[in-house]
Structure 1
Amino acid sequence: MAKSREELNNLARQLKSLHVPGQPLILTNVYDACTASVVAGLPSTKAVASASFAIAASIGIEDENTMSLNDNLAGVRRVAAGLRNAGKADALPLTADLQDGYADPGESVRRAIEIGVVGANIEDVDNSSQPAKLRPLDEAKSRIEAAVRAAREAGVPDFVVNARTDVLGFDGTIDDVVERGRAYLDAGATTVFVWGVRKKVITEQEVKDMATRLDGKLAVLAQGCTVETLKQAGVSRISVGPTLLLRALKFIQNEATAILEAKEWSM
C-alpha cells in the first residue's frame, strides 16, 4: 500500500534528523531486494540507501553512468520491496542514488518519491557527455534547487538531498569543494557528499577541514579513514558505496572455486 505524503515526509524528517555532526548516519548501501531485506533487519540500521554502481552491475551494465533513470528506479523499486519483506517499510527511511539527476532532476525526484524514496544523492557531473564533465557551479546549484523544489511540491518538503561534488576529480581543491558545498547547502541540500574521485584518497586533515568549513554538513565515503576517525572529524554521514556488492562477489568467487576444485568444502 502506497504511503501518504504525510507518512513520507515523516520518514524524510526522520532521515534528516539522523544527520548529526560527530554522530553520523552510517549507511551500508544495498542494491536489490535480498540485500535490502538483510540490512533492514539489522537492529543497528537506521536508514537504507541504494548504490547505483551496484544496481547497474547487478543487471549487467558495466558503466553505471550509462544506466537509464528507468533502470535505476527499477533497482530502487526492488530495494523498496526488500524493506517491505523485512517489515521495515514504515520504520526505515529509504534514500536513493540518483546519479547526476538525469535530464530533469526535479522529475527524477518526483518519480523516486512515488516509490517511497525520501532522500537522494545528486552529483554535479554531467554523465550524458562523454567523457563526463563537471557542471558549472551555477548550473549545478540550480539543479539542486530544482530537486528540492520538486520534493516540496510533491508534498515531501523535508526530502533529504545529499549533494555530491566530484570537483576533486577535475583538478579541484578543497577550497573548490567548500565553495560548491556552500552553494549546494544554500540551494537546500542537507549535506555535501565528497569522495576520493579517481582514486584520490582524502586525508583525515582534509576531512576535518571540510567538516569545519561546512558546519559538519559533510557526507563521505568510508575510504582511507576509519569510522571512528570520521566521527571525530565531525562528519554527519558515512556510506560505503558498492562495498557490499564487491565483497559479496569475492565471497562467491572463493566459495565457487572451493566447490569446483573439490577443496575442503561441504554444505
Structure 2
Amino acid sequence: MKEVITLIKEQFGNLGIMFRISKYQDKSDYQSHYLGLVWEYLYPIIQIGIYWLVFGFGLKKGTSGGVDYLSWMVIGITPWFYMNSVVLDASKSIYLQVGMVSKMKFPVSVLPTIKVISNLSSFWAMLVVSIFIAFFKGGIVPNMYWIQWIYYFFAMVCWLVAFSIFNSTIAILVRDYRIFLQSLMRMLFYMSGVLFNFETNAFPAPLVRIFQLNPFFYIISGFRESMLGDDWFWQKPILTITFWLFVLFFLLVGSHLHYKFRSRFVDLI
C-alpha cells in the first residue's frame, strides 16, 4: 500500500508536467502533417463515420434493448477506442522513453499516465459525434441519468492508470507481453459488448455474467446506461465492487513491480 500511495503522489505532484508533455507529444506526432493537430479530431470522427455507414445503412438495422442500434453502438465504441489506444500506447511508454528519463530526475511512473491524457482529445471528439448521432438518429435527449457519466469517466481513468502501470512494467520484464496484449485487446473488442448486446435473452446467462466481470465491459455498458438507459451505477453493487477490486489489484501489483524493478529498467531494456 505504501507503493500505491507513492505512485498516487507522483501522479498528482506532476500533473503540470504530464499535461505539458502530452501537449508537446501531440504536436510532435503531427508536425509533419499538413493538417497538423486537426488529425487528432478528424481521425476519430472518420472512424465513427465508417461505423455509421456500415451499421447505420448497411449490415445492421433495428434496435438493441429498445434503443436505435447505431446510437447504442457508437456510444459504446467511443470509450472502447479510447481505452484500446491508451492500453496499447501506455504499454510501451516506459520502454520507448526510459533511456531519456534515465539521464534526468523524472518520475517514470507518470509516463503511462501521459498516454491517458494525450488520448483525451480524440475521446472528446468521438463522444461529441456519438451524442450528435444518438440525438438525431436515435432521438435520444438529455436526462438526469447523463450526470453519472462523470462517475464512469472517473472510473475509466482510474482503471486505465492502474492497468497501464501494470502493463508498462510487465512489457519491460517480458518482451513478448506487448504482442500478447495486442491479441488480448482484439479478443476483448468482441467480448466487451462493443458490437453485441450480451445482456439479452439471446445469450446464455452464465456467459453473460462472466462477460460482465470484464472491467472494459463495465465501462462500456456504464456509458450506455448513462446516455441511453435509466439505471444508476449503485443499482449494480456486485459489478461495481468487482470493477473496483480489479482496479485495486492491478494498482497494487503494478505499483509493486514498478518500484521493485524501476532502477533496473535501463538494464532490462
- What's the TM-score bracket when you normalise by the shorter of the two chains? under 0.3
Output the TM-score relative to the length of structure 1: 0.25
Question: Which structure has the bigger radius of gyration?
Answer: 2
Higher-RCO chain (CA-CA 8 Å, sequence separation at least 6) = 2
More strand by share: 1
More helix by share: 2
Output the TM-score relative to the length of structure 2: 0.25
